[in-house]
């Protein structure tokens, strides 16, 4: 069974509705809040869905534990936090250890392979992205978070590529839009290739 | 476009005051945008988590829209400054959280006594004292109603989403002007720090209720600045318009001059309370669903109402007769509707989930002898739909 099908078993803890619960965890400075905001913009402004983003971070501007939850649904979202994640993107070892138990059976696990080492059980199913390497190839290391987002979009289809592109255009300064779209596409491609393998 | 034409554009054209359109926006920013759309002239505040984003956003946006932004030395001064600005005719706002709200209490009483319209956004966090600044609370709800000394009436809205942070901040300014009263937008950390779609209407579709003006012109006949109309609200003359205006926190007569007599005091304080109490039907707002045949009614507000709605819908799907009342104004409280539901006879119990140790439950208990079940947390997290559902099933 490929990862896309598994991830499509969406949750319904907001009543009997179809919804997606996505948690992105890492440390401050990795662009976690921006990533979740881009997903929220894509879903709610360009894909005709409802989306809520919440976040939690320590008092530090950089380096403290940070996480963001995105709940996307066909209908209004009530409870705004992830209870059982359909998708977990872990960009730092602590985020993987701490949030792994929240991932649903068959949920999508995405990690930054340079930073996070997954357990043996997860090795077969996790999408392990060399996000820094891909971002460097794209031409800007700061697009790491968008590479991860690309993987998330490519592996789950929770929002469309087109909506993500529009979200990037809306949210980012013009001079970094193109490099971020490249990073998005590189992430999408990486996810597709890892499904095929 | 040639560079020169670009330079001709004013900042107002580049960044209009009302950001008509769909946005994916933080609740705190939506509150700030609501204030701008409502015609905010003056903000004075002292940053405090989790309300800082309101001030931060306005520091950038308000001066560009022709308003004034002042960062004050503390919350006592912030509250005093918005009262002064209001007395001069400005639509004025401050934003704070628990500790700052406590510091504002004395001057909130002054605003009530002077009848200066103003809006205070309180983004509630886990309290008392410093508590947990970055985490949610809903425990300033009674303080909003009773926090300053003496008897007076106020209005308090409790938004459950960024969209409501926008909409209810607009309403707050209108209610403040209409009733000449301090109005609170009682947000909470989760709603304030949540991002969701916010649709901002065209400027012409933003409702505006201004202050009632004196019927006579300055110097013409006798104008008494504290003589109320039939709605118990006196028309408002602003400082600098030419009317004789005297404002004091001392008990005052209809001229606004000190008149420290028991009779004057009783008349004045009764009016301050009655202008809200007797106009409650006009002010009070709530949303309800599935209440008609319900034996259990869940009463909730703010972020907690989101979990409560999910729980009530799930319980209905399981065939349980449960309904929901979501407060939009926590003050005035929907007393009439609660009493009506009790009188209909179907209701057997109420459930009040809230992020405090039973502040609103007390209000429901006051209105009924039926059991009122509690679901409380002192702060730092909101109840899950399942926690409320289990209580409904019990």
B306–chain A nearest CA distance, Å: 5
Tell which wins on pLDDT, A5 or B126: B126
Cis? peptide before B162, omega within 30° of 0: no
Q: Which two tokens stand for residue A158?
A: 């929770």
Q: Do B63 and B187 lie in a common domain?
A: yes
pLDDT tens digits, residue range A132-191? Answer: 999 999 999 999 999 999 999 999 999 999 999 999 999 999 999 999 999 999 999 999
Q: Contact B168/B30 with Cβ under 8 angstroms?
A: no
For residue B86, being part of any structural domain is answered with: yes
Q: Do B294 and B200 lie in a common domain?
A: no
Lowest mean pLDDT among A9-18, A20-29, A59-68, A113-122: A9-18
Whether B314 and A56 lie within 8 Å, measured CB to CB? no
pLDDT for the residue A18 = 81
User: Which residue from A minimizes the CA distance to B312?
Assistant: A15
Q: Do B160 and B22 lie in a common domain?
A: yes
Please name the helix (run of DSSP H) or strand (run of DSSP E) that holds residue B45, with its range, or none. strand B42-45
Fold classified for A3-196:
Pyruvate-ferredoxin Oxidoreductase; domain 3 (3.40.920)
**What residues of chain B, 17 to 56, have a C-beta less than 8 Å from chain A?**
22-24
B51-80: b (≥16 Cβ within 10 Å) or e: bbbbbebbbebbebbebebbebeebbbbbb
Contacts of B144 (CB under 8 A, 6+ apart): B101, B122, B154, B156, B184, B186, B330, B331
How far apart are the C-alpha atoms of B60 and B56, rounded to whole Å? 7
Q: Which two tokens stand for residue B377?
A: 């947390």
Its pTM stands at 0.94
Total of domains in chain B: 2
Contacts of B104 (CB under 8 A, 6+ apart): B75, B76, B78, B79, B94, B96, B120
**Residue B125, beta-bridge partner list:** B136
B255-282: b (≥16 Cβ within 10 Å) or e: bbeebeeeeeeeebbebbbebbeebbee
Whether B385 and A55 lie within 8 Å, measured CB to CB? no
Average pLDDT over residues A118-122: 96
User: Which residue from A minimizes the CA distance to B303?
Assistant: A79
The CA-CA-CA angle for residues A99, A105, A108, to 5°, reads 65
The CA-CA-CA angle for residues B254, B257, B263, to 5°, reads 60
Q: Which domain holds residue B337?
A: 286-393
Whether B193 and A55 lie within 8 Å, measured CB to CB? yes
Whether A54 and B194 lie within 8 Å, measured CB to CB? yes
Whether A78 and B134 lie within 8 Å, measured CB to CB? no
Residues of B in contact with A44 (CB under 8 A): 24, 196-197
A82–chain B nearest CA distance, Å: 10
pLDDT in tens, chain B (394 residues): 444 444 555 656 678 999 999 999 999 999 999 999 999 999 999 999 999 999 999 999 999 999 999 999 999 999 999 999 999 999 999 999 999 999 999 999 999 999 999 999 999 999 999 999 999 999 999 999 999 999 999 999 999 999 999 999 999 999 999 999 999 999 999 999 999 999 999 999 999 999 999 999 998 888 999 999 999 999 999 999 999 999 999 999 999 999 999 999 999 999 999 999 999 999 999 999 999 999 999 999 999 999 999 999 999 999 999 999 999 999 999 999 999 999 999 999 999 999 999 999 999 999 999 999 999 999 999 999 999 999 999 9
Pair type for strands B182-188 and B155-157 = parallel
Domain's final residue, options B169, B184, B205: B205
Q: Do B45 and B162 lie in a common domain?
A: yes
At residue A14, does pLDDT exceed 90? no
Cβ–Cβ contact B194 with A under 8 A: yes
Residues of A in contact with B384 (CB under 8 A): 79, 83
**C-alpha radius of gyration, chain A, whole number:** 15
Whether A14 and B384 lie within 8 Å, measured CB to CB? no
Of B24, B307, B382, the CB nearest to A44: B24
**C-alpha radius of gyration, chain B, whole number:** 22
> Could you give the residue ranges of the DSSP H alpha helices within chain B?
3-8, 11-14, 27-37, 52-61, 75-87, 98-114, 141-146, 162-179, 189-192, 262-277, 280-283, 302-317, 335-344, 359-365, 385-393
Whether B303 and A80 lie within 8 Å, measured CB to CB? yes
How far apart are the C-alpha atoms of A79 and B160, rounded to whole Å? 11
Q: How many CB pairs under 8 A join A and B?
A: 61
For residue B281, being part of any structural domain is answered with: no
Q: Contact B74/B46 with Cβ under 8 angstroms?
A: yes
Q: Contact B235/B229 with Cβ under 8 angstroms?
A: yes
Domain's final residue, options B185, B205, B225: B205
Please compute, for residue B136, the number of CA atoms within 13 A of its CA located in the half-sphere on the CB side: 25
For residue B243, being part of any structural domain is answered with: no
Q: Contact B97/B138 with Cβ under 8 angstroms?
A: no
For residue B247, being part of any structural domain is answered with: no
pLDDT tens digits, residue range B191-215? Answer: 999 999 999 999 999 999 999 999 9
For residue B192, being part of any structural domain is answered with: yes
For residue B258, being part of any structural domain is answered with: no
A14–chain B nearest CA distance, Å: 6
pLDDT for the residue A195 = 76
Q: How many residues does chain B have?
A: 394
Of B22, B194, B314, the CB nearest to A80: B194
Q: Which two tokens stand for residue B386?
A: 């399942």
CATH number of the domain bearing residue B161: 3.40.50.970
Whether B24 and A45 lie within 8 Å, measured CB to CB? yes
Q: Contact A40/A52 with Cβ under 8 angstroms?
A: yes
Cβ–Cβ contact B357 with A under 8 A: no
For residue B99, being part of any structural domain is answered with: yes
| Alpha-carbon dihedral B341, B343, B349, B353, rounded to 10 degrees | 40
CA-wise closest residue to B289 among B261, B326, B253: B326
Tell which wins on pLDDT, B27 or A5: B27
Domain's final residue, options B172, B205, B238: B205
| Global ipTM | 0.92
Q: Do B168 and B305 lie in a common domain?
A: no
CATH number of the domain bearing residue B330: 3.40.50.920
Whether A14 and B385 lie within 8 Å, measured CB to CB? yes
Whether A40 and B134 lie within 8 Å, measured CB to CB? no
> Which residue of B24, B306, B383 to mutate against A (max A Cβ within 10 Å)?
B24
Q: Do B28 and B159 lie in a common domain?
A: yes
For residue B218, being part of any structural domain is answered with: no
Of A53, A59, A78, the CB nearest to B309: A78
Q: Do B49 and B160 lie in a common domain?
A: yes
């Amino acid at each position: 069974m490929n990862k896309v099908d598994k991830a499509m078993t969406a949750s319904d803890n907001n009543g009997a509705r179809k919804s997606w619960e996505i948690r992105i965890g890492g440390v401050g400075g990795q662009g976690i809040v921006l990533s979740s905001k881009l997903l929220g913009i894509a879903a709610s402004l360009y894909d005709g869905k409802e989306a809520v983003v919440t976040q939690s971070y320590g008092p530090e501007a950089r380096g403290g534990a940070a996480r963001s939850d995105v709940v996307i649904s066909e209908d209004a979202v009530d409870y705004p936090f992830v209870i059982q994640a359909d998708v977990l993107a872990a960009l730092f070892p602590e985020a993987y250890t701490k949030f792994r138990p929240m991932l649903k059976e068959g949920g999508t696990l995405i990690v930054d392979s340079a930073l996070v080492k997954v357990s043996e059980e997860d090795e077969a199913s996790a999408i392990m992205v060399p996000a820094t390497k891909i971002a460097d190839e794209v031409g800007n290391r700061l697009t790491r978070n968008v590479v991860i987002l690309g993987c998330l979009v490519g592996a789950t289809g929770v929002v469309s590529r087109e909506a993500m592109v529009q979200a990037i255009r809306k949210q980012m300064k013009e001079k970094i839009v193109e490099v971020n779209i490249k990073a998005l596409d590189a992430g999408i491609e990486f996810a597709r290739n890892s499904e095929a393998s | 476009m040639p560079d020169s034409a670009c330079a001709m554009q004013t900042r107002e054209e580049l960044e209009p005051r009302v950001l008509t359109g769909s946005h994916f926006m933080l609740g705190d920013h939506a509150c700030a945008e609501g204030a701008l759309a409502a015609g905010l002239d003056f903000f004075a505040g002292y940053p405090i988590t989790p309300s800082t984003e309101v001030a931060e956003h306005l520091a950038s946006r308000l001066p560009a829209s022709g308003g004034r932004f002042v960062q004050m030395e503390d919350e006592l001064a912030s509250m005093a400054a918005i009262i002064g600005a209001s007395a001069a005719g400005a639509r004025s706002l401050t934003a704070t959280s628990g500790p700052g709200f406590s510091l504002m209490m004395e001057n909130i009483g002054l605003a009530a006594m002077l009848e200066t319209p103003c809006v205070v956004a309180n983004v509630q966090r886990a309290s008392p004292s410093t508590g947990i600044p970055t985490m949610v609370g809903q425990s300033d709800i009674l303080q909003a109603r009773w926090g300053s000394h003496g008897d007076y009436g106020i209005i308090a809205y409790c938004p459950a989403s960024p969209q409501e942070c926008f909409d209810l901040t607009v309403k707050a300014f209108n209610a403040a002007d209409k009733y000449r009263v301090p109005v609170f937008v009682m947000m909470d950390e989760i709603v304030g720090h949540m991002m969701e779609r916010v649709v901002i209407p065209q400027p012409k579709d933003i409702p505006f209720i201004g202050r009632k003006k004196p019927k006579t012109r300055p110097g013409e006949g006798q104008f008494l600045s504290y003589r109320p109309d039939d709605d118990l609200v006196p028309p408002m003359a602003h400082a600098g318009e030419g009317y004789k205006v005297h404002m004091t926190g001392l008990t005052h007569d209809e001229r606004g001059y000190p008149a420290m007599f028991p009779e004057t005091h009783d008349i004045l304080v009764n009016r301050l309370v009655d202008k809200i109490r007797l106009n409650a039907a006009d002010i009070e707002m709530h949303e309800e669903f599935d209440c008609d045949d319900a034996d259990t009614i869940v009463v909730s507000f703010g972020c907690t109402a989101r979990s409560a709605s999910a729980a009530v819908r799930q319980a209905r799907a399981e065939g349980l007769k449960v309904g929901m009342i979501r407060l939009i104004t926590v003050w005035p409280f929907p007393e009439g509707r609660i009493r009506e539901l009790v009188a209909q006879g179907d209701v057997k119990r109420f459930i009040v989930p809230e992020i405090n140790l039973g502040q609103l439950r007390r209000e429901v208990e006051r209105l009924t002898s039926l059991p009122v079940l509690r679901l409380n947390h002192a702060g730092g997290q909101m109840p899950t739909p399942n926690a409320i559902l289990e209580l409904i099933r019990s």
